[in-house]
Copies of this chain bind each other. A is one copy, B any other.
Amino acid sequence: MSVVAGKRLETVDLYPSRIGDAPRLAPRQDPVVWGGPEGPLETAQLEFYERNGFLQFESLFSADELRACQEELRRLGQDPGMRAREETITEADSGEVRSIFAIHELSPIVRKLCEDARVVNIARQLLGSEVYFHQTRINYKPGFRGNGFYWHSDFETWHVEDGMPRMRAVSCSISLTENTEYNGPLMLIPGSHRKYLSCVGETPEDHYRQSLKNQEIGVPDDASLQALFDEGGIFVAKGGVGSVTFFECNVMHGSNSNITPLPRSNVFVVFNSVENTLVDPFCGLKPRPQFIANRRDFAPIQAG
């Protein structure tokens, strides 16, 4: 794929989706692990990621280290000014804060965590290059009425709606609260990142306003999900405060609702390769806002 100043030159879309009237499971066109053996990950971990599309760390951070971030989470969630910003997404029914995007620009405390060498160096090794923040956010996932998130591949949306050319990004979720089996933990279908599921339905204008609350377009069909599940089963990302999950941009994932009183809050960072910066969206519509898909600042992260 050749790109000049963020414009697509060729007409070939490696990962078409939301066109045609039938879903299709096609092979992945990109490597999973882009880097080599240099870095914090051992061969066995790289092989696990290659095969399954994720890596789970029990305690990459101590609870003590995350105290400031937990406090920041509380503070920002109660800040009326923050609540009024477009970066803040609320629950469709209850109106409670669901997520605050572009958090690395809004909170120096959270930014410090996002830049921590322990996560940045893993992202560098997996993506085989310098990395930048494609998206950051804190997720509140409040208890009692926390809605789930239906199965999806992030890459499908990022490619179609944001113009991410290749599968060369990785998400990193740092737990600020306990993730139990019952408070709506992240679920992943191991191995699903090795196929690309094109969805049916055409992307509407300003789709993100709805899709961040409850996605209806770009939604996988039952038969394809069943096939992926039959092959890979489900991994439930349980873990305590400070546990970290890295997952590949194309792995199928989602979560059930959370009626328990326990919130499931985390800091969420998407690292993209500096060699995979965004071009025009492949759906032909105008790009989504900067806070959802960074298309302005590709400076490599200086890990701290």
Instruction: Name A residues whose Cβ lies closer than 8 Å to a Cβ of B.
Output: 144, 148, 150-151, 181-182, 184, 187, 222, 225-226, 229, 234, 236, 254-261
User: What CA separation (Å) do A144 and B223 show in the bound complex?
Assistant: 11
Name A187's contact: one of B182, B226, B236, B255 (CB within 8 Å): B182
Name A259's contact: one of B150, B236, B258, B259 (CB within 8 Å): B150
Task: Give chain B residues whose Cβ lies under 8 Å from the Cβ of A151.
Answer: 259
Taking a contact as CB atoms under 8 Å apart, the answer to whether A261 and B144 are in contact is no
Task: Give chain B residues whose Cβ lies under 8 Å from the Cβ of A254.
Answer: 259
User: What CA separation (Å) do A144 and B258 show in the bound complex?
Assistant: 16
Oligomer: number of copies = 2
User: What CA separation (Å) do A93 and B258 show in the bound complex?
Assistant: 19
Task: Give chain B residues whose Cβ lies under 8 Å from the Cβ of A222.
Answer: 144, 261
Taking a contact as CB atoms under 8 Å apart, the answer to whether A259 and B260 are in contact is no
The 7 listed contacts between A and B (C-beta, < 8 Å) are A144-B222, A144-B225, A148-B257, A181-B182, A181-B236, A184-B256, A229-B261
Taking a contact as CB atoms under 8 Å apart, the answer to whether B260 and A257 are in contact is no
Name A260's contact: one of B184, B229, B261 (CB within 8 Å): B229
Taking a contact as CB atoms under 8 Å apart, the answer to whether A182 and B234 are in contact is yes
Taking a contact as CB atoms under 8 Å apart, the answer to whether A182 and B257 are in contact is no
Task: Give chain B residues whose Cβ lies under 8 Å from the Cβ of A144.
Answer: 222, 225
User: What CA separation (Å) do A226 and B142 show in the bound complex?
Assistant: 13
By Cβ-Cβ distance, the 9 closest A-B pairs, closest first, are: A181-B181, A257-B257, A256-B256, A256-B257, A226-B261, A229-B261, A148-B257, A254-B259, A182-B234
Q: Which of A181, A187, A236 has the most CB of B within 10 A?
A: A181
Q: Using CB atoms, name the residue of chain B closest to A236.
A: B182
- How many Å from the CB of A304 to the closest CB on chain B? 36
Taking a contact as CB atoms under 8 Å apart, the answer to whether A259 and B256 are in contact is yes
User: What CA separation (Å) do A261 and B187 show in the bound complex?
Assistant: 12
Task: Give chain B residues whose Cβ lies under 8 Å from the Cβ of A225.
Answer: 144, 261
Taking a contact as CB atoms under 8 Å apart, the answer to whether A258 and B260 are in contact is no
Taking a contact as CB atoms under 8 Å apart, the answer to whether A256 and B187 are in contact is no
User: What CA separation (Å) do A204 and B33 show in the bound complex?
Assistant: 58
Q: Using CB atoms, name the residue of chain B closest to A221.
A: B144
Task: Give chain B residues whose Cβ lies under 8 Å from the Cβ of A182.
Answer: 181, 187, 234, 236, 256
- How many Å from the CB of A83 to the closest CB on chain B? 20
> Could you list 19 further interchain pairs (A-B, Cβ under 8 angstroms) beyond the known A148-B259, A151-B259, A256-B257?
A144-B222, A144-B225, A148-B256, A150-B259, A181-B181, A181-B182, A181-B236, A182-B187, A184-B256, A187-B259, A187-B260, A222-B261, A229-B260, A229-B261, A234-B260, A254-B259, A256-B256, A256-B258, A256-B259
